[in-house]
A = this chain, B = another copy of it.
Amino acid sequence: MIVQKRTFRIPELLLQSGSVLREVQVGFETYGTLNANGTNAILVCHFFSGTSHCAGRYHEADAEPGYWDAIIGPGKAIDTSKFFVVSSDVLSNVNAKAPNVVTTGPSSINPQTGRVYGSTFPIVTIGDFVTVQKQLVDSLGIKRLHAVCGPSMGALQTLEWCVRFPDFFDRAMPVIGPGLAAEPYLISTLQQWCQPIFDDPDFQNGDYYGTGREPMKGLAQALKLITFTALHQDWANRLFGRRLADDGDPLREMNARFAIDKHLDEAGAQRAQTADANALLRIARANQLFSIEERKNNIRARFLMLPASSDLLMVPAMAQRGAEELRRLGCEVNLHFIEGHGGHLDGLNAIGQCSDAIRRFMEDAPTSARA
């Protein structure tokens, strides 16, 4: 499946904070064909460091397809020969320097000043991401969504959809998500990811663009922590054991590393090349602010929740607490564990094992019709 990035434009966007963004650009992708009634669309929301590229390849030579290619495509669990799949970038996408990321964020030019936003870019929320998605969906002629889904921060967006537009869709599939709010241990984890950026002298309170200095070290360290937290002890045991890096004897040199840290340091530095520190800080804050607790009575959807059994970030207990709360609200909730040893990332890498459950959820008639 060859796919392309498209750009959605919003002249003026009122954010939850009260700030207004002008001339907003948002990257998005679609796969499959919208039916005549405009009712066969499934919205896929992306994770913290992801983009709207959830399936297919831009070119045949691309090394990797989109992150959920295992379940999205012709004949797959989310079958693009039946469904019209839509996915859009969140505002302030972390991967601001990646090719194919066109979305407005802190490194964009503020059309009102002609200068880069930098520290003046407003704080954005999961609610703001959903506002953008609803405008995009409307613009595409979608009259009603068939389902909303997504992994990790995509699960947060899915849950936010449930309280904002409860009558616009029936099916919600939050994968490796939290309960109905970001719990405090997660809030602090997110803060710890941000800390190396705040502490990098090159951060300059967020106004580093054009100064010749960017907080690359802090950004790389943040992305190292994110990578690490999204994995699992078993992953580390299998891939690294106690092997040493090739940079000295840890019994005699404080700077000598073990192989796992060399790998994670390099992965962080690599990811930092296409990321932006200010964007990452705002995405972390969006996650911290997430809560639908006080609006939970709005929810009408039925749920397929897919926590990962080895997840150390969105620990399965969070989704379980969420499922219990949704059931108390009268929602139908099918809770199904992604089994594995890959940690949080199993929500991406091992999603294929849930293909049958996902297909049934997407294609079965609603319970009331079956009864």
A→B interface (CB under 8 Å): 16-17, 119, 122-123, 125, 181-188, 191-192, 195-196, 199-201, 206, 217-218, 221, 224-225, 228, 231-233, 235-237, 239-242, 250-254, 257-261, 264, 281, 285, 288-289, 291, 312, 315, 317-318
Contacts and interface: CB of A to CB of B under 8 A. Distances in A.
A254 B285 contact: yes
Contacts of A289: 250-251
Nearest to A293: B242
Given A252-B123, A289-B251, A217 B199 contact: yes
Contact of A185 (B191, B233, B315): B233
Contact of A183 (B122, B185, B233): B233
A261 B187 contact: yes
Contact of A258 (B184, B258, B260): B184
A125 B253 CA distance: 13
Give the number of times this chain occurs in the complex, counting copies: 2
Contact of A187 (B231, B258, B315): B258
A24 B309 CA distance: 48
Given A17-B252, A285-B254, A184 B242 contact: yes
A14 B181 CA distance: 54
B261 A191 contact: yes
Contacts of A257: 191
A237 B183 contact: yes
A35 B315 CA distance: 50
Given A123-B254, A183-B237, A221-B195, A242 B291 contact: yes
Contacts of A217: 199
A237 B185 contact: yes
A17 B252 CA distance: 6
Most buried by B among A185, A201, A317: A185
Contact of A236 (B183, B199, B232): B183
B188 A236 contact: yes
Closest 4 CB pairs of A and B: A184-B236, A185-B236, A185-B233, A184-B260
Contacts of A236: 183-185, 188
A233 B318 contact: yes
A261 B125 CA distance: 20
21 contacts: A16-B251, A17-B251, A123-B250, A123-B254, A125-B251, A182-B242, A184-B242, A185-B233, A187-B242, A188-B260, A192-B224, A192-B228, A195-B221, A199-B218, A199-B221, A233-B315, A242-B291, A250-B285, A250-B289, A254-B281, A312-B312
A228 to B, nearest CB: 6
B252 A187 contact: no
Contact of A288 (B125, B192, B196, B258): B258
A310 to B, nearest CB: 10
